[in-house]
Amino acid sequence: MSPVSSINPAVSAIAASLVTAKAPLRIGLIGFGCVGQGLYDILQHLPGFGAEVRRIAVKNPAKPRSLPAEAFSFRADELLQDPELDVLVEVIDDAAEAFRLVSTALRQGRQVVTANKAMVARHLPELVALQHEFGGTLLYEAAVCGSIPVVRTLDAYFGQEPLRSVSGIFNGSSNYVLTRMGQDGSEYAVALAEAQQQGFAETDPSLDMAAFDPRSKLVILAAHAYGVLLEPEQVLNLGIENVSATDISYAAVAGQKIKVVAGLYLLPNHQLSVLVTPQFVDPTSALYTVDDEFNGVVIEAEFAGPQFLRGRGAGGHPTGSAVLSDIAALRNQQRYAYPKLTTATPLAYTTDLEIEIYLRTDDELILDQLGFTDITEEADEDGYIVGYVPLDALLQHRDRLRKAGAFVARTGHVRPATHSVDALALTESE
């Protein structure tokens, strides 16, 4: 007898009555782009889920859409003023407008879901305070790593356990570009155009390619994983907008790939280092086989050991599924606990490190400004150098590096800025 047929019919009937007794959640959807349409389509395929989109607000009345014009409102505030909506789902691109809408809803004590990582990263302390003051709930699983349930995993499952690191590939768009360059030998511009055509990169790709997007995600995860509240500008973010075939070939000769790796690293002195840059990874890394638009997250826990989560990080359905999970959580009255924000011994954020990097540039002044030491490789013909530089120097000169067309990648080796003999044996292993 199968497990399903062996269930007591009376128990099945009670369970069914409990499900059907709940009235469907009435959703107000603000935004009908990639994620909004993905969520709408998912709900159409799940009539038994117990939620329905009652109202949709969009900005541009003239834009062609997959639903008739009468299905839309053109003022998002109308949804905020509608008391019959149980959940507001915000999935627009404008971070400032998203904050206005979400903060207003929280002041009303509403239940809100957002996918706007830039907004959450910029305003997280205030958003947490608004929930405490007015009793509303904000969930944002879709803001970090698409379909991977990393926020709730860190907040709930690892809410008490110390974590050695949380790192990974947090941006599907840049990962897709690097995959195409590595597999097909495509030039950066060609690979980027393909990513845009596939819907994995925006028309203005700078947020993804310059690593502003994964930086926002790191700021969010820092609060859940370590109880540290950061400003986005505190975090080093270097991207792949200047990557070339020379860099891809350099990695391939060593049997490695270039991945944009975002990381939170707990140091032995109870301090936290946070950064996102390209990095060379080899086949021993769990991230080595994370290709195309996929994301991967490695959690190094003190007692549980390493955990690896992998899933699609871009696209309407994968990100819409994360929104769906938040709606289900709200229906079950779940909210983030932020357990590590109240810890008795808060961590300090530090940039007091030296990082071994590969730098390709023809700007000799940058080499002097970064303060290279312990140089292990230098190739004048290809214009690259490998050695240690202070993390503070990279933070200070990151804009200059971008403008100069320089490309930077971590090797994975890190040491304290003091050069002490009892240095961190800290190799950033994913």
The residues assigned a catalytic role are: 217
Phi first, then psi: what are they for 377, rounded to 5°? -145, 145
- Cα distance between residue 66 and residue 72, in whole Å: 11
Give the Cα separation of 409 and 226 in Å (integer): 25
In the 3-class helix/strand/coil scheme, how is 128-158 assigned residue by residue?
HHHHHHHCCEEECHHHCCCCCCHHHHHHHHC
The upper half-sphere exposure of residue 326, i.e. CA atoms within 13 Å in the direction of its Cβ, equals: 30
Sort strands 111-114 and 384-390 into parallel, antiparallel or unpaired.
unpaired
Dist CA 310 CA 317 (whole Å) = 16
Only one residue has tokens 């405490």, namely: 132
Q: How far is CA 295 from CA 38, 157, 260, 319, 420, in A?
A: 18, 20, 10, 12, 36
* Those residues with Cβ within 8 angstroms of residue 384's Cβ, 6 or more apart along the chain or in another chain: 246, 247, 250, 358, 359, 360, 361, 377, 378
- Bridge partners (DSSP) of residue 236 are 275
Under a CB-based contact definition with an 8 Å cutoff, are residues 281 and 430 in contact?
yes
Residue 114 bridge partners (DSSP): 90
- Whether the Cβ atoms of residue 210 and residue 292 lie closer than 8 Å to each other: no
| Residue 426, token pair as written in the block | 């800290």
Phi, psi of 114 (to 5 degrees): -135, 155
Which residue's structure tokens are 């990974």?
A: 168
Task: Name the helix (H) or strand (E) containing 390.
Answer: strand 384-390
Question: What tokens does 287 get?
Answer: 């991230």
d(CA 138, CA 127): 8
Could you give the CA distance from residue 237 to residue 209 in angstroms, rounded to a whole number?
10
- The DSSP symbol for 56 reads E
